[in-house]
Chain A
Amino acid sequence: MTSRIEDAFAKARAENRGVLGVFVSAGDPDRETSGAILDALVEAKVDMIELGMPFSDPMADGPAIQAASLRALKGGMTLAGTLEMARAFRARHPATPLVLMGYYNPIYIYGVEAFLADAVAAGVDGLIVVDLPPEEDDELYLPAREAGLDFIRLVTPTSDAARLPVVLGTASGFVYYVAITGITGTRSAAADSISAAYSRISAATDLPIVTGFGIRTPEQAGEAASLSDGAVIGSAVVDIIADNLGGDGRGTPEIVSKIAAFVGDLAKGVAAAGRRD
């Protein structure tokens, strides 16, 4: 049996394009709006969703996702709530891969064993935990693989020849290429650097490689997705939430409709750009 993640890449390949992934924080700005946003993403033909597990101190995130995380926490989101959202999402959308992304501490406090059991039961496909490099694999990577979850590795511009085998040797699902040396939402990578990185990384792994960090427009999404195997957009989507909050900081219908329209454009950009080779 293939995984949902494998199926998503196969489908995009068959349609001669890269995959489109979108990141949002669970519960941003509140649980109902956040659930409606996830539905809108599927409707707008997103191939894969990265659902942020809010954390008070998101050390690798820029202002947009920091604010998203804090809005979600203020709205009462917890890790248990995030898992509950994942479960409800899976009940509505059986095919779209769902990857939980965040930092280790809330998982550590929830309890690794309980977290993995609940994530698997909720229908989560993979995990991205920013502050768990391979040096800390016994914390979560090994038990997560045991539980059947993909554990997505991050490769960065600082991943040199000595580092790549360490990171990729045990990668699963897909590889997330962090296109800039920096935090989320700050700057964008140049096309030639994505191409060069793709050659370097694909020489060391057979897994698909998606590019993320700093992608803001349908054109950039198309470019990144066609230079690698996919593109992930986070801050630009999260900014729409920030810009359309109600007076009380609550969600509004505009948030959902504007995200749907923007993500629809991203999907068109990715489809129009075609596939590498």
Chain B
Amino acid sequence: MTDINLNSLRNQPDERGRFGMHGGRFVAETLMPLILQVESAFKAAQSDADFASELAYYQTHYVGRPSPLYFAERLTAHFGGAKLYLKRDELNHTGAHKINNVLGQALLAKRMGKTRIIAETGAGQHGVATATACALFDMECEVFMGEEDVRRQKPNVDRMRLLGAKVHPVTSGTGTLKDAMNEALRYWVANAETHFYIIGTVAGPHPYPQMVRDFQSVIGREARQQIMDAEGRLPDTIVACIGGGSNAMGLFHPFLDDESVRIIGVEAAGKGIPSGLHAASLTGGTPGVLHGNRTYLLQDEDGQIIDAHSISAGLDYPGIGPEHSWLHDMKRVEYVSATDEEALDAFQLCSRLEGIIPALEPSHALAFVGTIIGDMDKDQILILNMCGRGDKDLGAVLPMLEERGKL
């Protein structure tokens, strides 16, 4: 046996797909044979050097990895505390971290002989990344997107259509990410034998949470190396926003065993936690079972799922990946939240001070960073995952800034 460190937090889940009590495979029987196939294909790919080198090839030459780790000098000066580094995954091809995972899963689908792809999307970044990979690998692409999100992330809908994907607007529920995921799962149940479902975050039935995390962990591996090169030491704090939690898991996972590193996940507080109109599953939810896994959910006392609310379509989800729920239970990671208004201010601040227009999702993370970094010592280091760029959000953000007299 190779040596497994029993004290490591980095070797979850167990063979049932459990992270502590969270995770698992809570799906309809129709999908079980398929999920087992995906799991064995993923295991085989993980130990296949050809798979790794093919993925690395596309990460380098197509996505543009490694993404820079950039010292944000003006934000650092503005906050007047620790040094702020941005992990620039917004520079990736297609504008967010989502492509890291999509390329991995698309190559896996290809190995399995599947050429028809399903995806759900909230902000549209995962949909765009999937449509992109499908164009690249000559695959058919069906994207499910809530109709509210189709409206507020229109540029991404146009991009998906240009790339040759079919976008299905979803009208059930609130027409946001949860409903898109329901509909994608229903479509998958109906097309289980022909289609591969590329899930866009670290949620869903096992092996998806693990698989998506492993494909996204390139973020944290690079950041770890880059900060060692730049500063000769590990960061004191790392921070990422959380919708389902894939960019966060990608940054966090390589640092989980580094006890000196404080790890913070930022959920969307919408109009504020007390208002009930938020998307903060860990701050304001309880454990339950949805979309194939057990995890913290926004739900009522009868176990009915409550709709999430966030200005950011990518964070507007009433659940969270099961590994985060586990890390929350064991208190390895701190989960906090930022409101719509705080995120809007951070969006504008980052644009003005760094010339980087962030997506609304990482703007939540930056908003929270603004509340702690000023109190840190000047020789301390904080890394923020700048997981997406804000082009997609201009249509929604500009009227709000104008309305508030901020533009």
Contact = CB atoms under 8 A, between A and B. Distances in A.
Interface of A: 55-57, 59-62, 66, 73, 78-80, 103-110, 130-133, 135-136, 153-160, 162-163, 167, 178, 180-183, 186
Nearest to A103: B289
A74 to B, nearest CB: 11
Contact of A55 (B191, B301, B304): B304
Contacts of A60: 28, 30, 186, 189
Interface in B31-47: 31-34
Contacts of B25: 133, 135-136
Given A78-B302, A110-B303, A133 B27 contact: yes
A79 B190 contact: no
Q: Decide if the interface of chain A is mainly helix, strand, loop or mixed.
A: loop
Interface in B180-198: 182, 185-186, 189-193
A178 B193 contact: no
Contacts, number: 115
Contacts of B301: 109
Nearest to A153: B29
A78 B191 CA distance: 32
B128 to A, nearest CB: 25
A105 B288 contact: yes
B290 interface: yes
A106 B290 CA distance: 10
Contacts of B191: 181
B32 A133 contact: yes
A106 B193 contact: no
Contacts of A157: 30
A109 B186 contact: no
Interface size class of B (residues with CB under 8 A): 35 or more
Contacts of A156: 28-30
B26 interface: yes
B185 A59 contact: yes
21 contacts: A55-B304, A57-B178, A62-B186, A66-B172, A78-B302, A104-B26, A105-B299, A105-B303, A108-B294, A110-B302, A133-B26, A135-B16, A135-B25, A136-B24, A136-B25, A136-B26, A158-B31, A158-B33, A158-B34, A162-B33, A180-B190
Instruction: Tell me if B's interface is mostly helix, strand, loop or mixed.
Output: mixed
A158 B30 contact: yes
A233 to B, nearest CB: 19
Contacts of B303: 55, 79, 105-110
B182 A181 contact: no
Given A158-B33, A163-B33, 19 more contacts: A56-B304, A103-B289, A105-B288, A105-B299, A106-B303, A106-B304, A109-B299, A109-B301, A131-B27, A132-B26, A133-B25, A135-B25, A136-B24, A136-B25, A158-B29, A158-B31, A178-B30, A182-B189, A186-B190
B305 interface: yes
B40 to A, nearest CB: 11
B291 interface: yes
B32 A108 contact: no
Contacts of B186: 59-62, 183
A155 B33 CA distance: 11
Given A159-B29, A163-B32, A57 B305 contact: yes
Interface string B7-33: 000000000100000001111111111
Residue among A79, A105, A159, A180 having the largest count of chain B Cβ atoms under 10 Å: A105
B193 A158 contact: yes
B28 to A, nearest CB: 4
Contacts of B33: 158-160, 162-163
Given A133-B27, A154-B29, A158-B33, A181 B178 contact: no
Nearest to B27: A131
A131 B289 contact: yes
B190 A183 contact: yes
Contacts of A135: 16, 24-25, 32
A147 B394 CA distance: 57
Interface in B280-313: 286, 288-292, 294, 297, 299, 301-305
A54 B286 CA distance: 20
Contacts of B31: 158
Contact of A158 (B26, B192, B291, B292): B192
A109 B190 contact: no
Nearest to A59: B185
Contact of B189 (A79, A132, A183): A183
Contacts of A163: 32-33
Q: Ordered nearest first, which 4 A-B pairs have the shortest CB separation?
A: A109-B303, A106-B303, A182-B190, A56-B304
A25 B25 CA distance: 25
B370 to A, nearest CB: 35
A247 B189 CA distance: 35
Contacts of B32: 133, 135, 158, 163
A105 B299 CA distance: 10
Most buried by B among A136, A160, A163: A136
Interface centre among B16, B172, B291 (most CB of A within 10 A): B172
B318 to A, nearest CB: 9
Contacts of A79: 302-303
Given A109-B301, A132-B26, A133-B29, A59 B182 contact: yes
A224 to B, nearest CB: 18
Nearest to A182: B190
B305 A56 contact: yes
Contacts of A133: 25-29, 32
Given A66-B172, A109-B288, A183-B190, A57 B182 contact: yes
Contacts of A160: 33
A55 B290 CA distance: 11
